[in-house]
Structures are given as C-alpha cells and as structure tokens.
Structure 1
Amino acid sequence: MDDTPVLALDAEERRRAGDRLLTLLDDHERGLRKAPIVPDLDRDLLTELLRTPMPAKGIGVDALFDEITDRILPNSTTVAHPRFLAYVQGPPTGIGPYAEAVAAAINQNCNFWQLSPAASVVERSVLTWLGDVVGYPAGADGVLTGGGSLATLSGLAVALHDRAPDFRSVGLQGQPAPLVVYTSAEAHRSVDKAAAVLGLGLDHVRHVPVDDRYRLRVDALAAMVAADREAGLRPFCVVATSGTTTTGSVDPLDPIADLCAAEDLWLHVDGAYGALFLLCEEKRDLLAGCARADSISLDPHKLLFAPLEAGCLLVRDAAKLRSAFAFSSSYLTVAADPLMTDYMDHGPQLSRDFKALKVWAALRVFGVDAFRTAIGGTLELARHLARRIEAEPTLELLAPVELTAVCFGFRGVADHSAVLARLAAEGTALLGPAAVRGRSAMRACVTNYRTTRADVDLLVDRLVAAGP
C-alpha cells in the first residue's frame, strides 16, 4: 500500500525530479550563448497555456518537466545571456538555484525567530556584512525586501515615523503642515510611487534639477527647501541617488548630507543600482557619503547576482526602524533572544521567505573577492564600450559613464527604436531605450559577469556595419 502523502513525491518521483532538474540547469548553463536573448514568442502555445484548465488528476513529474522544457523555457527571456544589456539586472550566481531549492524545501517563515532560528541568524549575518560595506555603525540594522522599490518605500515610512509628530497615531491626517520630500529629476520612479502609496501625494514631491553630469544640484535643493518652509510646508526627507537608472550618475552625497544635517532632514539614499560598487576600491571615494545616510536601499539581486527577489533596507539607527514597524500581538509572542531577530518588526511584511540564504550561500561559496572581481569587470567593460563609441564617427556618447550604464546614439538620429528592435531580433544584443535631456538614446548596462570584451566589440562592430 502506497503511504506517500497526497502532495508529496515518492522515492522514485523524487529521483526523477532531481534528475530532470539537474539536467535542465546544466542544459541552461551550457546553452546560454546560443540561446536567443529575446524569445520568438509562440503566441498560440501561450494562449493554449493560458486557457488550459488545471487537471483534476495530476500529470506527474516527467510531464511537468516536459511542459517546462517545451513551453516555458522557449518563451522566456534569456536574462543571463552575455549580451542582455537592457536593464540593471544580472544573472544569478551558479549556486543561486540550489540555495533557492533548499530555501523552498525547508520553507522557513522569517517573521519571528521561533519559526526560523537559523534563517534569522543568516539574515542578521548578511545585513551586518552589508552594513559594514556601506560604512554604517554597529547600531544599524535592516531587513531584506523584495527589491529596491519596497526598500525605498519602507525607508520613507521610517522617515515619516521619525520626523512627523505622533505619526503612528494620527498619520498624515493630523500633521500641522503638509510634508515634502525631495529627490533628483533623474531619480527612480520608486520615489514617486512611495510618496503616492504612503499618502504624501505627488504634489509634495520636489524633483530637483540636475547638473551637466545628471547629479542633483545642491544649490537648487537648498532653494526649494527654503521656499517650501516660507510657504508654510514642512520639508522632512531627501532621497539622493547613488546610481541613477538611466545614466548611472551619483548625486553629491556629502554636500547633500551636510544640507540635511543643517536643515534637520532625513536622508535616504537609493543605492539599489550603485551603492554596492563600494566593493570596488576605485568607487569608494565616490560613494563614501552613503555612510552618512539615515537609511539606504540596496539590491543584492543586482550587484551580488542573487536570484530575484533580494532587496535590502538598512537604517542607521535600529531603534527607529523598529519604532516604525513593530507591533505587539499575543499570538506572535516569543521570548526575546539576543542571538535572534524578529524581522516582522523591521518591515511591512509578516510572512517572509528565506531571501538571505541565496545571498549568504553565494558569499560563502565564492568569497567576497570574487564579487569584487566580477563587479570591477563590469566597470571596465562599460569603460571599454564608451571608448569604442567615442572612437566611431557615426556614434556619440550622450552621458558620462560613472558606473556601468552607457547612453549613446547615432549622430543625427532622432529615434532609435528601429535600431533597438533590429539588434534584438537578429540576436546581437538587447539594449534599452533611454531619453537623455529629451533626446532619444540607446542604453547598455553591463551587469553580467559573463559578458566579455568580445561581446562589447561585437555589439559596436554590428552597429557600425549596419548603421541606423
């Protein structure tokens, strides 16, 4: 008599699932360079996939993996391809899928420590290391999130609890004056979205002009703060950016921090793209001001190449983080333990998966120096791409290359959409569209440790040969 629980696999099914999974992962790795970057979508198949009802009787392990191999993979974007250059999204580390499998198997709920004791310690270890990278003091703390957008949203929530009188009780409704947040005109859309979600309203977000290097102008920021105070409004927070999405520019963090200190403003740094370039010696001076932020968002699923999702919020004063998010409830009470952390008190989520394992596992397997090498390699390839573009008469660089985002275009071309479509269709590369001071541009962002100089040269050679 088969005593396998109804939703478990028996021994033979586990063996088959393991074999099929390992084959899939191995084939995926071996086939990356030959795979199409953008799939030739089989719309009939996807429509059938959408309309096929869930079976009353299961199809079994082998049939499932056949569907994944035949239907899912051919219609998926190959984000690990060396010439996937459209977005700030790198491939996962080699150990990432295995760590994710372990996390799924043990299914820890990383809310209060009794449900996830080892996971609590692992997350604390990862956050401590990230805080050290940023330059935060021992009293800092944080939480891993679904991404940089949620980290920025949570950072602004902490700022509101800290700077708005009795915010937990009366919220925005009971404030004596409207609160205002400031950010760069080049800032990520997550700042506007956070302001809308938190109830600040887009009318109370100031987009500060940028200089010729696309960095927030501190003089303009100071003038806006003064004007809003004069108008009876209440400035409370500045969101600076270390690595804007379009050009990779880094705001002048130290002068902004000086102004925030003088004006009693919370400073949040959106470091989702660029802050972890602190791992590279050559960028430490540029990014040193991150250490002065009251809070900072990071994205381990970018420069630490963790599988999605893995964002992070760090807050300089751990007590302020807990003041924003800690709530008591008898059904979630467990004795405090100095070794453990209840991460439900560090962010908006109660149920949380074991995100820290894939970050921790990669750092343990490869070591920090390997990440320094990989990140440094992306910087050098971006510079090589910029040099190649500047050497071609038909191409022009449209913004300084501070990190790994390279914005460029054909001289005299008003719209690059056809070029981008052609590059993708022929399999040369997937680049992103960009607008640089209102001008159409192409954008390549080198965030893949598999990308080589030969990939960059192939891209530029193809652009020059084909023309606009």
Structure 2
Amino acid sequence: MVLEVKSLGLLEESLEVLEQSFQGMPAFEAKALGDRERDILLQVAERMQDNYPYPHPLYAGQMLKPPHPIARLAYMLSMWVNPNNHALDGGRASSALEKEAVAEIAEMFGWDKFLGHLTGGGTMANMEALWVSGRLHPGKRILASSMAHYTHGRISEVLQLPFTAVAADDQARMDMAALENELKKGDVGTVVVTLGTTGVGSVDPLHKVLELKKLYDFRVHVDSAYGGYFGLVDNLDDNAAIAYSKLDQVDSIVIDPHKHGLQPYGCGCILFSDASVGRFYKHDSPYTYFSSDDMHLGEITLECSRAGASAVALWATQKLLPLNRGGEFANGLADGRKAALELHKQLQDDPKYKTTFEPELDILIWAPDAKTTQEISQKSQALFDLAEKNHLHLALLELPLNLAKACWGDSVEYNSETVSCLRSTLMKPEHLEWIADIKRIMDESLAEI
C-alpha cells in the first residue's frame, strides 16, 4: 500500500481520552452517519483518485512532502473540537500549543525573545513581514532577488509599496553588486533574502547582505518558507552554512512547516526579532477577547480565524521529532540533500544529460543533452511526459538563458528566450534509497524519445 492507515487505531484511542473532558455534561450525541454519508464519502474517495502519488518516492517533482502520521492524527483529533486560534475562548489549549511550538521554531533560529505566530501559509506570513516593514519605512522600496518567489512583488503591490527585483548571479543567488547599486539610491526599506528559492533551491548570501546593512539603513527579512529547517543539517556547502548561521541577526523570518516540517497544509510561521512591532497589530474587538487577560494570538496577527488544528499537529510533531541538530528530523533533511547531490552527480557523469549548478538544498535542475536550447526544451517536455507514463513524476522549470549559459557555456546554441529543464525536489528521506530506480526510469524514458 502507498497510503498509511494502520495508525487509525491510535486516533480512536486518543478520542476516548479527549471525550473525558466532557464528563459531567448532559448527555449529547451527534447524529450517526448512515448510508447516504457513506455513499458520498466513497464518491469523494473516487474523485480524489485524480491525483499524483505524492506520498510515494517516485513522486519527485514539486515540493509536496506527506505529513508525518502523528501530524495527521493530531490534526484529525483536534477537529472533533475544531478550535479557532484567533481568540482564547475559541481555542485555549491549541493557542497554548501554538505558542510552545512557535517558541521551539524561534529557538532553532537562535531567538529567545521574539514575536511570532502561525499563519495559513508562507504568502500570508510574508505579507505580515512586509506590512510591518512598510509601517517602519513608509513608502520605501522592497528588494528581492529575481529568483525569489513571485509573491513578494505581488504583496508589495497589494501593500502599495514599490518593489524592485535584483539580478541573480550565475549560481541563482542574489547578486551583491546589483544589490548595492540599488541600496546606493537611498530609498530601500527592506531587503528580502531567500534561503531556499522555490525554483532552484538557491541560498542567497545572507552574511554578505548583513555586511551591506552596516553601510546602509534597511531591514533584512528572510524568506525561508521552503528552506528554513536546513540550518539543522551538517552537509550544507560553505555559502549555505554561513548564511544559516547568521539567521539570529535578521529582523524577520518566514518558515513553512507544511513544507519540510511534515505538516498538513496550511501551516506557515512568521517571526519578528523585535517584539515591539506588535504595536502595529493593536486593535479592539467587542466580542473576542473577553475570556482572558493573557495575550490572544488574534491580537498579533492580520488573519482572524485560524485553524487551531495546525498548531496541535505541529506541536505533536515537534514533540516526536525535536528540532535538534543531529536528531531524527535533521537527519531526514540531510538524507534528502544527499539524494539530490547523488542524483546530480550521476547525471553529471552521464553524457545523455546536461546539469546545472550543484544543489544547495534538495532541489536539482537538469535536462536531456541536445545541441540547441529549443531542442533541449522539446526533449525535456517529452521526457517529462514519458517518465510519468512509467510512474516517475518530475517537474519542469523555465531556466533563464543567463543561468543556462553560466552552466553550459558554448556547448549549446541559444536559440530561444528561455530553456525548459527538468526539476526534482527530493525532500522525502526515502528518496535516497530510490535514486537507482529514479535514474533507471529516466534512462528508459529518454531512450524512447
């Protein structure tokens, strides 16, 4: 079986414990489900068959990592109560669990004083970071690498803040010379540093940005929605390792537990090193904050209703798999990176393929060998389609020509505006054991082109 179901017995046992909290109340039982509900649920199961096999190691395309079984169970368990972490009267227990879980994430970055909370995902978390930046530096520009997630430009537009994309170097990292040219203009409020771009997995040189901060007045926001946990591993290259070591010196950080953190969607997290930015969230509500004098999470978020289930699932996962260097969780991340490095090496040694830069995290980009970029794009699409028929699921990426030229030099004729390449996110620890199968299917599929 691909789907893990043996753990469902633990859910029933846990629900019996949860039921004890209602002892002493008048008897009440919701209407039992019957044949109609059964028929609809089976229809749902049939409709859900129209999916890629995300949990399987042969799914090696987009950044889709199955939640840990304990996260699924804890999430489902909490849904029998359905807590809302906007206010304590809607989610007392889950709010406490959120504060504890977020504090553990902050500690991973070296912060013991901070302001932070969970969000529905990285987009909302980044919006809060840039919203605070706009309050601190009204009207000043937001800068991010051209390889950064498109959400920063979109969010800046929503917030009516000017945005500029900074050129990337030949390793797909933010170019420091181009960044300083923008900083010299004197109108920059925030520089977004990406630790783990979602396209190619590149790590911007945070340490070099912090050196520029000594010369120019700007905030540093780190978007590590994808790559935030990799500071726990011990097999990073020098650029990535030193960048992660400087995270305690930035102004704000975004991380998505629903990516490498083994959580169900949606679970993002925003952290500010200066807790006093909470003043910008200050508001009053006539009905939601009456149950306690303690701080409600809704008083430090832009979102209102938020699933307390996300906090419950995250807390349970971090209790099982603490965020420690050298621990089981960190070793799983390291295995994904090992898998990416191993597949990159095998492709690099195989003349049938063209590789790009060595993976910095667990994403790699490559393409079938050909004489022109148009032909490479055509063969990449064909290999993508054939691999899927052979149960290997990859992804495609449009690589800018300047990055392609940096990798391939004059070995290719550049006769298109971009070049389609194949992309894999090897984020499951099991991928390391499946590299031989992945490469075999790729070779067999390529032979059919």
Return the TM-score normalized by structure 1.
0.79
> What secondary structure sits across from 1:450 in the alignment?
helix
Corresponding position of 1:353? 307
Corresponding position of 2:442? 463
RMSD in angstroms over aligned alpha carbons? 2.3
Following superposition, the deviation at residue 90 of structure 1 comes to 0.8
- Measured against aligned partners, the alpha-carbon deviations of 1:103-150 in whole angstroms (never above 9, x if no partner) come to 2111111112233222121111111110011122x2212111111111
The one-letter code sitting in structure 2 at the alignment partner of 1:318 is: A
User: Would you say 1:329 and 2:285 are equivalent positions?
Assistant: yes
Following superposition, the deviation at residue 442 of structure 1 comes to 0.6
The one-letter code sitting in structure 2 at the alignment partner of 1:221 is: L
Please, which of 396, 403, 416 is the counterpart of residue 361 of structure 2? 403
> What secondary structure sits across from 1:74 in the alignment?
coil
- Equivalence map 1:39-50=2 (5 Å): none
* Maintained 8 Å contact 2:59/2:392: no
Corresponding position of 1:419? 383
Give the Cα separation in 2 of the matches to 1:382 and 1:316: 33
Q: Specify whether residues 452 and 255 from structure 1 end up closer, same or farther in structure 2 by C-alpha distance, changes over 3 A only.
A: closer
Give the Cα separation in 2 of the matches to 1:58 and 1:276: 44
Please, which of 89, 104, 114 is the counterpart of residue 140 of structure 1? 114
- Equivalence map 1:162-201=2 (5 Å): 162-164=136-138, 178-200=139-161
Corresponding position of 2:83? 108
Q: Specify whether residues 366 and 129 from structure 1 end up closer, same or farther in structure 2 by C-alpha distance, changes over 3 A only.
A: closer
Return the TM-score normalized by structure 2.
0.82
Corresponding position of 2:298? 344
User: Would you say 1:160 and 2:113 are equivalent positions?
Assistant: no
Give the Cα separation in 2 of the matches to 1:255 and 1:282: 21
Give the Cα separation in 2 of the matches to 1:81 and 1:282: 25
Give the Cα separation in 1 of the matches to 2:352 and 2:52: 30
* Maintained 8 Å contact 1:109/1:115: yes
> What secondary structure sits across from 1:92 in the alignment?
coil
> What secondary structure sits across from 2:351 in the alignment?
coil
Q: Specify whether residues 290 and 409 from structure 1 end up closer, same or farther in structure 2 by C-alpha distance, changes over 3 A only.
A: same
Give the Cα separation in 2 of the matches to 1:78 and 1:461: 19
Corresponding position of 1:79? 54
User: Would you say 1:439 and 2:419 are equivalent positions?
Assistant: yes
- Measured against aligned partners, the alpha-carbon deviations of 1:134-171 in whole angstroms (never above 9, x if no partner) come to 122x221211111111111111011112222xxxxxxx
The one-letter code sitting in structure 1 at the alignment partner of 2:63 is: V
Please, which of 243, 268, 284 is the counterpart of residue 311 of structure 1? 268
Task: Name the % identity.
Answer: 22
Q: Specify whether residues 58 and 98 from structure 1 end up closer, same or farther in structure 2 by C-alpha distance, changes over 3 A only.
A: same
**Structure 2 residue runs without a partner (length 5+):** 9-32, 404-417
* Maintained 8 Å contact 1:238/1:268: yes
Give the Cα separation in 2 of the matches to 1:119 and 1:345: 16
Give the Cα separation in 1 of the matches to 2:195 and 2:95: 29
* Maintained 8 Å contact 1:90/1:303: yes
* Maintained 8 Å contact 1:395/1:408: yes
Give the Cα separation in 2 of the matches to 1:335 and 1:161: 30
The one-letter code sitting in structure 2 at the alignment partner of 1:347 is: T
The one-letter code sitting in structure 1 at the alignment partner of 2:419 is: R
Give the Cα separation in 2 of the matches to 1:461 and 1:358: 37
- Measured against aligned partners, the alpha-carbon deviations of 1:172-218 in whole angstroms (never above 9, x if no partner) come to xxxxxx42111101111111111122122xxx321111222111122
The one-letter code sitting in structure 2 at the alignment partner of 1:356 is: A
User: Would you say 1:389 and 2:335 are equivalent positions?
Assistant: no
* Maintained 8 Å contact 1:99/1:357: yes
Corresponding position of 1:378? 336
Following superposition, the deviation at residue 282 of structure 1 comes to 3.3
Give the Cα separation in 2 of the matches to 1:86 and 1:115: 38
* Maintained 8 Å contact 1:83/1:428: yes
The one-letter code sitting in structure 2 at the alignment partner of 1:61 is: E
Following superposition, the deviation at residue 28 of structure 1 comes to 11
> What secondary structure sits across from 1:371 in the alignment?
helix
* Maintained 8 Å contact 1:431/1:442: yes
Following superposition, the deviation at residue 336 of structure 1 comes to 5.5
Corresponding position of 1:428? 392
Corresponding position of 1:226? 184
- Measured against aligned partners, the alpha-carbon deviations of 1:325-383 in whole angstroms (never above 9, x if no partner) come to 2212232333654xx54111222111111111111111223444221121111011111
User: Would you say 1:131 and 2:106 are equivalent positions?
Assistant: yes
- Equivalence map 1:268-287=2 (5 Å): 268-283=221-236, 284-287=241-244
